[in-house]
Structure 1
Amino acid sequence: MRVPPPAQQSRLLRRHLRARPLGARLCLDAIARTGEEGCAIRVVFPTGTPPEAVGAAGATTLHGIRVIGGGLVVALAVPDEGTAVTLRLDGQEVTVEPRPAETALFAGLNTLVAIRNGESAAQTADWLACHMHDHGAEAALILDRSPGGDDAFADAMGMALADLPGLRRLVLVDLDRPLGRPDLPPASHPVHAPDAPGKQRMVPPPPDPWTAPLGEGQLYEWLRHAFLDEARTVANLDLCDLLAPAPGASVFDRATDAPSGTILLTGRHAYPWRLRDPDAPGFADHGCVSFDRPPSVRRWCVAPAKAGPGAVWRASRVTGTMPRPAELAAFFRCMALRHPGHPVSRLVPRSSLVEEPALVALAETRFGQAPLRMPQIAPPRIDPGANRTAIVTTMKNEGPFILDWLAYHRAIGVQDFLIYTNDCTDGTDRMLALLEERGIVQHRDNPYRAMGLKPQHAALQAAPDEPVVHAADWLICMDVDEYLNIKAGDGTLTALFQAMDGANMISCTWRLFGNADIHAFADAPVIGQFTRCAAEMTRKPHQAWGFKTLFRNAGFFRKLGVHRPKGLTPQLLDRIAWVNGSGRPLPREMYRSAWRSTAETVGYDLVQLNHYAVRSAKSFLVKRDRGRVNHVERDQGLAYWFRMNHNAEEDRSILRMIPAMETERARLLADPAISAAHAACVAAHRAKIATLRAQPDQAAFYSDLTGPRMQRLSRMLGHFGTNVFLAGPESIPDAVLQADLEPGFFFTVDRVEARH
């Protein structure tokens, strides 16, 4: 074994802290610090120790008990060092033998404090070097969570000090007791990575308190009294964290200058695009951040003398101080180092990653090698005048509604329709086969069984291989009960594209249209029959502001999705111009996973998506019997009708397009075969309604749908909170139902499990 030279040995100190029984309790540490006013004692108890169990006895004075994250730091005092320190624990008097505080080790030094949880000596040395050379760190205290300490790590750090001549002191502390949560797996597992995809499907290893996320919240206050209270400044960072390069004063100087004596450190998660060596990740590998995740990690830098004795050091903040908003500094948390041994794709969706120039520069200048860069992708060439539009949709037993829907969307300018069907019994397939023969649609059998997917997901996975999708300039995935209601210009797609002025993605927010108290099925245009709907500012249920996205087929995303395309190509992020239905830009935070609008992003001025989710009560019986194309396991029962049947107000804006739709519909029906196929679908629909209504349970269900209670509720839904829609219509008391509600009235119930 190589032995560090004496000069390095004097700069590297090891401290072995050992827990001990104290009465029936466990004492993690007891620290004494003598001053002009006697001897101050801090006794540290683990998480779960009740504060009421602790009291003073004999000549010992109890000054206070701080409960920090469930652990205790008990402040005591005795007149002098020779006085016995006694405590009353659980009613029994016990004697405490404190050890002397070693705060002089860091007196006057800019100090880093970190916890080691398996990090290598090479990683730790790089971390120290970066913060010494770029930020003025002079010393470090590293608490090593290895059981009883790691001699090999300590030896390697002793050797590394030869390359860190400016580091005046390094203290390695270890314990004989685990500090992690006893119920959690190792902190390095991706289940603890905040951005990791598919965590619900992960099977983590068994709990391990030696490596699990920290469970002793009092640790930093403990280290403060044991070692750090005389430091000039202390910066709390993990061994995978790098302070960002910044001009001007260092974080240490800024903490001493801050009126509060504290500055907040805010961290972003940093990732490699690709690792050079998956078994040995390094700081230089990290060149990317998630574009849609703001800084979310909190640490701190404190000047102990300035912050004062009333401040309390916690893991993510120093309480008792109030840093001003300007008193903050940035850092990067290098996630491949925090979660070693796992591919980048297990830690973060790569579709969220963009290069961060500060990280790329840091890798080159501080660590001597650039990260492996993202592949460059040439921006797409878009012809603004090319606007061929295609709809991709799935259907099952929608025969009576197909022609109206096609006629309407052909009238507003949709040229192509790719329609997948499955298990139809009402003539839908015959109708679509005729339409395909005449070049009006492309009809495909849904491959969901062979693919092992839900019907809608299978269709969207198969559709990108179709020529009609390749040929489209614009695409949207929508259903036959949804109508693009364009309010711009003459109501056509041409007018919409002109009004959106260069947008290449348009999210069209649902406006939920109810049954308008229409119970019977009529072979008449849906948009003409059902004109009552939710108010524009209907925040709940959460489905009320779902959207479907009309997007340029230019490679910004790799896959089709139900509500919006998926699989963002991050290199093209800056080329995306995504707007809402009023033409206002959507925030980037919505680019990867949003499926609904919010109060800040909803807009209906130029386009909305009229969603006729229920139609008439009799047609709803057929819809319920048919089942859903996505959530196939969920019953479309009374709770669904309650959520989706909105009749609060009238919106007739789409009716101006009925003449154009009727012209196109007449053109289609002029074909005798199509006309006959439509009539057959209508007849099958009516027959199915009759069959269902003859069944006692369906008859009772229909009676509930059409009764006065549900009719009245359909005009009140804007007054209810989320939990009401989860609980169902029976959760609303008669007193609320019968009241004359004021505009600002709000009613909700306690949270319940969702009902399908």
Structure 2
Amino acid sequence: MAQFDRHHIQSRDLGPAVLLAAVRADEDRAHLFFTKGSEVSPVIAEKLVNGPELRSVGDAPWLTGQMPEGGIQAFFNSELMDIPREAPRPAMMAGRNVALATRNGETAQTVLEWLGYHVKYQSLTGAIILDRAEPGTDEGFAQELESGLKKLDLKAFDDLAVLLVDCDVPLGQSDNAPEHHPFVTPGAPGKDRMEVPKPAPWAAPLGDVLIYEMLRHLFLTKARAVANIEVYDLVPPDPRGTMFDLAQTAKGGVVQLVGQQCYPWRVRDDDPVRFADHICVQFDAKKRRGRWCAAMAALDDQAVFRLVRIGGVDPEVAYPFYRFMALRHRAPTVSKIVPKASLIEHAPLIKMSEAEWDHKPILMPHEEVEQPPKGDNSVAIVTCMKNEGPFILEWLAYHRAIGIEGFLVYTNDCTDGTDTFLDLLQEKGYVQHRDNKFHGTGLKPQHHALQQAEKEPVVMESDWAISMDVDEFIDIKVGDGTMTALFDVVPDANLISCTWRLFGNNDVHEYEDRFLIEQFFRCAPEFANKPHQAWGFKTLFKNVGLFKKLGVHRPKGLKPQIWDKIRWYNGSAKRMPEGEYRNAWRSNASTYGYDVVQLNHYAVRSAESFLVKRDRGRVNHVDRDQGLAYWFRMNNNFEEERSIQRMIPKLQHEFDQLLSDPDIRAMHEACVKAHKDKIKELRATENYSRFYAELTGPRMEKLSRMHRHFGANVFLTGPECVPDEVLQRDPDEKFFFTVERGETAH
């Protein structure tokens, strides 16, 4: 029958320090283990411990030295508080393969399954389990664990020794939430929208990691090997042997345990979560969870037990394990602790569930890649507009010229004839126009429009779709500049991201009814990692069912069952990395590319048109002002880039065809007039007159050529933070300027 015993850590509050234990090191010396944040420097200064050696593990002091009668006790308490020096008790774990673990809410059944698995596959013969529960709140756990051990009838359990340790002070991070709460769970989605839970040091993640070293000196000095794992970790068998055996011959006596987080897809209603329910891993997970296994006799004297490593040892052997996340990080649904779009079935876990526990876990629903609706590479654009009347026709004509025929346009609250113009274009068969009834839905205009667009035939029946704006133009740099030329370069693609190239106002102040792509040819350099928005992208995606819904920058709701069917390319026809599949909305230094296609973003146009844009407000971020800081961020006139201008003849032909309809010509001219009238009205006001003067002044024109010299905080703070002496420098010089967030020039 398995041995079972308990040990209680009786701390001592010494005022500036909390002593967990004083463990005898030899005849004269003792190890004093304190809680995190304890102040022990006075002890050393007053020489109250003879020959002191001070170490620290995770900000918790560990003091070794002689404790003369009346020394440290007298210093902390005038009544000579008794601080007994506990004698080490290594006998129970001597010669054993021991798991050193913490329990933070897991059930006795979970711990019994954990023990049984490691007895079977890792030749476990001992376990020290630190029970983190607050005293008096969970006595049933110890009773159930002891009772369960007695009922185990396998012969292998007869040699198992289990020591359950508890403590009278909390050992968790004092300022953190309970470990089971999604806010604390590694990788849980939506943390920025959660209400921050109250600190709960009894249940928070372990803070006093010095406890491992204390338990080592009390119980583990004679153990054969010790593995620091949690009671929700399982270490499967390995052809090389057990982790305990490998530690005997490993360099420094240490094997690095490398953990992969795993999750259930779903747990049946009213059933407790079990190891056997966990059948999924994250396809895009990069980080692994570190733990260790050490051969005690091989450890150097200076080696220290820490949480994820042995201090002072650089292990060369790696050994895999699984961390069963839903056992400690408990939530009503798995989606609270992990993005379900990242989960894929993992065959070894399914096999383990069935073979070890005869369990039938809930598997992921089956998904398959669909065939595109038409098979002709047809493309539909979904866009939102508000007061964009004079710019509609060029944008429409250009994208028709490159081979796009599907246009679904949502408008709201227009005052310049945009909605009337689009009604006319719909009547003529060029676009589909919808009133964006977002008011009262709680959604932003663009998000509501995209939600509605998913059900529209023009989107559902096109092979490809993209969400983009009327100030964005797809610039295809290969072949004849058409969509066909783009698809020929990446024939297997089902997503193509077009990274923004920010085009500035080219020092154009006044509005003219001329092509944007002709007027504005100065833009950001290709490497423009600042401001944050400069490398945003919009994504062409194939209608083959890889994602669940439309998104502003890319489709959202990846179906993880078919994630490996994604063929996603950047603007240089290079494959996007798997880590970008779920959430990426902008390029970075390793994913940007402009060789094949880019998205020309004419965010500011002329200074006069920008007045109207600011007055109109933003289509998506309705609560954000488009003031001087926005102009500063988006108006980049660093260099010339005219690649799109080769398409002007095709654009002109398509544009003239549209204007040949007298109704369309009349409506376009009416929108142009309304735009000019609005400009005149705004410039007549003191506020906009002053704003226009700032936009067109030499300071802002100079700044529009200096973006590459500025740090991210400059764009977050605004142009006023750039001092005159920086502004006076030559833009071609090599220099860098930034500020602390919120700092302004003096």
Pick the TM interval, shorter chain.
over 0.9
Q: What residue number does 1:67 align with?
A: 56
Report the equivalent of 1:726: 716
Partner of residue 511, structure 2: 521
Q: Deviation at 1:733?
A: 1.9
1:155/1:753 Cα in 2 relative to 1: closer, same or farther (>3 Å)? Answer: farther
* Pairwise CA RMSD: 2.1
Please tell me whether residue 116 in structure 1 is matched to residue 103 in structure 2: yes
Q: Secondary structure at the match of 1:158?
A: helix
Where do residues 691-702 of structure 1 align in structure 2 (5 Å cutoff)? Answer: 691-702=681-692
Partner of 1:590: 580
Identify the match of residue 144 of structure 2 among 142, 149, 156: 156
Report whether the alignment pairs 1:295 with 2:287: yes
Correspondences of 1:194-205 after superposition (within 5 Å): 194-203=186-195
What residue is the counterpart of 1:104 in the other structure?
91
CA–CA separation in structure 2 for the residues paired with 1:472 and 1:410: 15
1:192-243 per-residue CA deviation (whole Å, 9 max, x = no partner) reads 1223222233346543322122222322122222222332221111111122
Partner of 2:256: 264
Runs (5+) with no aligned partner, structure 2: none
Cα pair 1:60 1:77 within 8 Å, conserved: yes
1:110 partner letter: N
Counterpart-to-counterpart distance in 2, 1:486 and 1:439: 26
- For 1:669 and 1:473, the matched residues in 2 are separated by 29
Q: Match for residue 545 of structure 1?
A: 535
Given the superposition, is the C-alpha separation of residues 612 and 24 from structure 1 closer, same or farther in structure 2, using an over 3 Å criterion? closer
Judge conservation of contact 1:516–1:530 (CA < 8 Å) in 2.
yes
- Corresponding residue number in structure 2 for 1:333: 323
1:280 to 267, 272, 289: 272
* Corresponding position of 1:685: 675
- Map Cα deviations across residues 403-431 of structure 1 (whole Å, 9 max, x no partner): 00000000001110000001100110111
1:53/1:91 contact within 8 Å kept: no
Letter in 2 for 1:145: R
Alignment of 1:553-632 (within 5 A): 553-632=543-622
Whether contact under 8 Å (2:14, 2:76) holds in the other structure is: no
Q: Is the 8 A contact 2:48 2:75 kept in 1?
A: no
Whole-angstrom CA distance in 2 between matches of 1:589 and 1:21: 48
Q: Residues of 2 paired with 1:114 and 1:282: CA distance?
A: 18
DSSP-derived class of the 1:54 partner? helix
Q: Specify whether residues 261 and 89 from structure 1 end up closer, same or farther in structure 2 by C-alpha distance, changes over 3 A only.
A: farther
Alignment of structure 1 residues 44-443 onto 2, 5 Å: 44-55=33-44, 60-77=49-66, 84=69, 86-87=71-72, 96-148=83-135, 150-161=138-149, 162-163=152-153, 165-167=155-157, 168-203=160-195, 206-324=198-316, 327-382=317-372, 385-443=375-433
Deviation, structure 1 residue 645: 0.5
The offset of 1:52, in angstroms, is: 1.4
Distance 1:48 1:300 in 2: 26
Establish whether residue 445 from structure 1 lines up as the match of residue 435 from structure 2. yes
| Structure 1 residue 279, shift from structure 2 partner | 4.4
Q: CA deviation at 1:751?
A: 2.9
Alignment of 1:738 onto 2:728: yes
What's the CA shift string for 1:422-473, capped at 9, x where partnerless? Answer: 1100110111011000110000001210422111111011111111111110
Which range moved further: 680-689 or 109-118?
109-118
Q: Which amino acid aligns with 2:121?
A: D
Q: Please list the CA deviations of residues 620-671 of structure 1 after superposition, one character each: whole Å capped at 9, or x if unmatched.
A: 0100111111111111111111111111101100001110011000011111
Match of 1:655 among 609, 620, 645: 645
**Percent of counterpart pairs with the same letter?**
51
Moved more, 306-315 or 555-564: 306-315
How far apart in 2 are the matches of 1:526 and 1:519? 13
**Does the 8 A contact of 2:380 with 2:408 survive in 1?**
yes
Task: Return the offset for 1:361.
Answer: 1.8
Residues 181/23 of structure 1: CA separation in 2 closer, same or farther (3 Å cut) = closer
Give how far 1:179 is off: 1.4
User: Do structure 1's residue 665 and structure 2's residue 655 form an aligned pair?
Assistant: yes
Q: Is the 8 A contact 1:56 1:88 kept in 2?
A: no
Residues 16 and 38 in structure 2, CA contact (< 8 A), matched pair in contact too: no
Q: 1:214 to 1:617 in 2, by over 3 A?
A: same
Tell me, in whole angstroms, the C-alpha distance in 2 between the residues paired with 1:96 and 1:421: 77
Give per-residue Cα distances to partners, 1:147-201, cap 9 Å, x unaligned. 3375432232223332454342111111111212333332111211223222233
Q: Distance in 2 between matches of 1:384 and 1:425?
A: 38
Q: Find the aligned partners of 1:342 and 1:753 in 2 and give their Cα distance.
A: 44
Cα offsets for 1:558-582 (capped at 9, x unmatched): 1100000000111111111011011
The aligned residue for residue 448 of structure 2 is 458
Segment of structure 1 superposing worse, 433-442 or 718-727: 718-727
Offset of 1:56 from its aligned partner? Answer: 8.0
2:183–2:197 Cα contact (<8 Å) kept: no
CA distance in 2, matches of 1:698, 1:113: 69
3-state SS of 1:28 partner: strand
109-118 vs 384-393, greater mean Cα deviation: 384-393
Shift of 1:89: 7.8
Letter of the structure 1 residue corresponding to residue 38 of structure 2: T
Match of 1:100, SS state, is coil
Mapped partners of 1:366, 1:649: distance in 2: 64
2:493 to 495, 500, 503: 503
Q: Distance in 1 between matches of 2:443 and 2:146?
A: 57
Matched residues in 1 for 2:463 and 2:553: separation?
18
Q: Deviations over 1:120-151 (max 9, x none)?
A: 11100111111221122221100112233754
Q: Distance in 2 between matches of 1:457 and 1:491?
A: 30
1:731/1:88 Cα in 2 relative to 1: closer, same or farther (>3 Å)?
farther
1: CA distance, partners of 2:483 / 2:741: 43
Partner amino acid, structure 2, of 1:69: G
How many pairs does the alignment contain?
737
The answer to whether the 8 Å contact 2:16/2:40 transfers is no
Which residue identity lines up with residue 123 of structure 1 in the other structure?
Answer: T
Which stretch shifts more, 127-136 or 635-644? 127-136
Relative distance call for 1:156 and 1:659 in structure 2 (3 A) is: same
| Contact 2:15-2:76 within 8 A present in 1 as well | no
Matched position secondary structure for 2:256: strand
C-alpha separation in 1, matches of 2:397 and 2:295:
72
Q: Distance in 2 between matches of 1:753 and 1:127?
A: 54
Q: Name the CA distance, whole Å, in 2 between partners of 1:717 and 1:384.
A: 44
- Check the 8 A contact 2:73/2:83 in 1, yes or no: no
- The alignment partner of 1:431 has SS state of helix
**Residue aligned with 2:244, SS:** helix
User: What is the SS of the residue equivalent to 1:476?
Assistant: strand
State the SS of the aligned residue for 1:160.
helix
- The 3-state SS of whatever aligns with 1:394 is strand
Classify the secondary structure of the residue corresponding to 1:157. helix
